[in-house]
A and B are shown apart, each in its own frame.
Chain A
Amino acid sequence: MKDSRQATELRDTFVASIHQVQGILHRICSLYTWTPEERQDLWQEILLQLWRTYPTFRGHSQFSTWLYRVALNTALMHRRSRMRRNPTMSIDEIEPPAAPENMSGSEHGVRLLTGSIRELEQLDRAVILLRLEEKSYQEIAEITGLSEGAVSLRLVRIREKLRKALASKGYSGENYVG
């Protein structure tokens, strides 16, 4: 009886915590998948993985560090599901971007940014995502296992790549941001 009450409490706490941070998880899903179906699959997989490891999370690290670690590790391995189902996804199967004329400038900018991040290597994608989520270099280092120096160097390289990618797509930040 007591165990069942504890289990229910644990589940309720977990659900409430996830409900609060679901935006982070949705953003991770959108950076590591290409279609809505894949995104749904990954969302489900991350939730289950978080729930599976939640009882072993005992506050040795911050909740957000644990959350990012599990979610990103699951996202990196989720690639296996796609490899199995469809190793060489054709361009037709990738979710088409909405036409720029139907979007506001900032929406268009976000789409281009998301698209450019998706083109990065998997670990770079994780590093820039964490930085965009305003994580400190120390937190990024804890989540990825890179040293703070390596995080800093990698970010310089990634920002440069993003700048070039956005410029090649005709995006200039001044038009939309600020």
Chain B
Amino acid sequence: MSDEHDLQALWKMETTDGRTVDAVDIASSLACHTNRQFLTVKLFLWIGLGILGVTFALDVANTFGYWGGGAIWFVQVGMALLAVVFTVYGICLLADIEKLERADENLLERLRRLRRIFRRRVEIWNLMWAASVPLMIFAINSAVDNQNGHFQINRPGLFTAIQIASFIFIYAVTRIGQYPLVSEIKILMAELERGNGEEIATLPARRRRWRFWFAVLCVVLISLLLWAAWQTWILAH
């Protein structure tokens, strides 16, 4: 039975009777919708690109606003450049994911693209996206301060702590949000590359872990919201 010809002869006997569908059924199937495969990552990308767009616009406005303002002018220019670099990176990543969704590359090329995107590029983008929110907040503050006449950081220590905290928090939210998709893709890649299907068995435990961290995140977010509402109420009264 080792002869290839025998195997091919046997394979030819595999019929698709009972499964054959007519042209009308094929046409009606095309009206169905299916979920895009990499929706979570693309969603974070689109939101990130939106934030970077706003940041860039504010930074450009601020470079005019702080014209001749010394160090703060250079900071605004640097931030605008950073926003451009992050945006270009995000757009390239988005294009790469679109190519992945078309699924018309050869199998190994697609696997390489999957590896490149999910082992490296998405990880780098997560850092950029986490940095983009503090960048935008800083750009907004700078614009408001410019309206008031001058830029000033009243409490540098607190300011730095808030920036770092928001970076870490957004990074954690992103990682937790993307975890189901990214872990599935990594397991799939391990199986495709090394024929290692054992990791699939770890998926239920991973999901349970994810649900736990997602719940923790929700509690933290709700607590922060309540705290902010409480502080606002105290200030108002």
Contacts and interface: CB of A to CB of B under 8 A. Distances in A.
Contacts of B1: 162-163, 166-167, 171-173, 177
B154 interface: no
B7 A22 contact: no
Contact of A132 (B8, B30, B188, B191): B8
B20 A22 contact: yes
B26 A144 contact: no
Interface string A156-178: 00011011001100011100111
A79 B203 contact: no
A19 B34 CA distance: 21
A145 B9 contact: no
Contact of B107 (A83, A126, A172): A126
B105 A69 contact: yes
Nearest to B29: A47
B32 interface: yes
A122 B10 contact: no
Contact of B201 (A51, A72, A87, A162): A87
A157 B111 CA distance: 22
B224 to A, nearest CB: 31
B32 A145 contact: no
Interface residues of B, number: 47
B103 A77 contact: yes
Contact of A83 (B11, B33, B34, B188): B188
Contacts of B110: 73
Interface residues of A, number: 67
B103 A69 contact: yes
Interface string A17-37: 011001100110010000000
Contacts of A73: 103-105, 107, 110
A47 B30 contact: yes
Contact of B103 (A70, A87, A107, A155): A70
Given A122-B191, A144-B108, 9 more contacts: A11-B30, A48-B33, A69-B105, A70-B103, A80-B188, A83-B188, A122-B195, A145-B108, A162-B7
Of all A-B residue pairs in the complex, the 3 with the closest CB atoms, nearest first, are A145-B108, A145-B106, A173-B1
Interface of A: 11, 14-16, 18-19, 22-23, 26-27, 30, 44-45, 47-49, 51-53, 56-57, 66, 69-70, 72-74, 76-77, 79-80, 83-84, 87-88, 106-107, 109-110, 113-114, 121-123, 126, 131-134, 142-146, 155, 159-160, 162-163, 166-167, 171-173, 176-178
Interface of B: 1-4, 6-11, 13-14, 16, 19-23, 26-27, 29-30, 32-34, 37, 102-110, 180, 184-185, 187-188, 191-192, 195, 200-201, 203-204
